[in-house]
Amino acid sequence: MSLLVQPRLVNVPSGDPGLYLDFQFGQRAMLFDLGDSAPLSPRELIRVSHAFISHAHMDHIAGFERLLRLRLHRPRPLVLLGPPGFVDLMQSRLGGYSWNLLDQTSVDFRLTAQAFDGAQIVEVAEFAARERFTRRDLAVPDLPRGGVCSEAEFEISAAALDHGIPSLAFAFRQRQRFNVWRSALDTLGLPVGPWIDEAKQALRDELPDDHMIAVPGMEPVPLGFLRAQVFETGPGQYFAYVSDAADTSANRARIIGLARGADQLYIEAPFLHADKAIAEATCHLTARAAGEIARIAGVRRVTPFHYSARYGDDVAELAKEVNAAFIDN
Q: For 101-108, which contacts have Cβ atoms below 8 Å and span 24 or more sequence positions?
A: 102/129, 102/130, 102/132, 102/133, 103/130, 103/132, 104/130, 106/73, 106/130, 107/72, 107/73, 107/74, 107/75, 108/75
Q: 199 or 285, CB closer to Zn ion?
A: 285
Cα of 128 vs its chain's centroid, Å: 23
Output the smallest distance, CB 245 to Zn ion, in A.
9
Output the smallest distance, CB 44 to Zn ion, in A.
22
Output the smallest distance, CB 161 to Zn ion, in A.
10
Binding status of residue 244 toward Zn ion by CB under 5 A: yes
Of the candidates 13, 53, 8, 48, the one whose C-alpha atom is nearest the C-alpha of residue 35 is 53
DSSP structural state of residue 272: -
Output the smallest distance, CB 58 to Zn ion, in A.
9
Residues 33-72 that bind Zn ion (CB under 5 A): 57, 59
Hey, CA dihedral for 197, 203, 209, 210, is it positive or negative? negative
Q: 71 or 163, CB closer to Zn ion?
A: 163
Q: 223 or 290, CB closer to Zn ion?
A: 290
Between CA 123 and CA 106 the distance in angstroms is: 27
Q: 167 or 237, CB closer to Zn ion?
A: 167
Q: 57 or 252, CB closer to Zn ion?
A: 57
Output the smallest distance, CB 32 to Zn ion, in A.
12
Cα of 183 vs its chain's centroid, Å: 29
Judged by CB under 5 A, the number of residues near Zn ion is: 3
Output the smallest distance, CB 9 to Zn ion, in A.
13
Q: Which span (96-104, 197-205, 243-251, 310-318) binds Zn ion, by CB under 5 A?
A: 243-251
Output the smallest distance, CB 35 to Zn ion, in A.
8
Of the candidates 49, 38, 41, 37, the one whose C-alpha atom is nearest the C-alpha of residue 74 is 49
Q: Which span (83-91, 191-199, 242-250, 259-267) binds Zn ion, by CB under 5 A?
A: 242-250
Output the smallest distance, CB 296 to Zn ion, in A.
23
Output the smallest distance, CB 315 to Zn ion, in A.
16
Answer yes or no: are the C-beta atoms of 161 and 254 closer than 8 Å.
Answer: yes
Q: 15 or 291, CB closer to Zn ion?
A: 15
Q: 244 or 292, CB closer to Zn ion?
A: 244
- Count Cα atoms within 13 angstroms, Cβ side, for 194: 2
DSSP structural state of residue 58: H
Nearest residue relative to Zn ion (C-beta)? 57
Q: For 296-300, which contacts have Cβ atoms below 8 Å and span 24 or more sequence positions?
A: 296/252, 296/256, 297/255, 297/256, 297/259, 297/260, 297/261, 297/262, 297/265, 298/260, 298/261, 299/240, 299/259, 299/261, 299/262, 299/263, 299/264, 299/265, 300/262, 300/263, 300/264
Residues 145-174 that bind Zn ion (CB under 5 A): none
Amino acid found at 119: A
Amino acid found at 62: A
Q: 54 or 112, CB closer to Zn ion?
A: 54
Q: 16 or 292, CB closer to Zn ion?
A: 16
List residues near Zn ion by CB under 5 A.
57, 59, 244
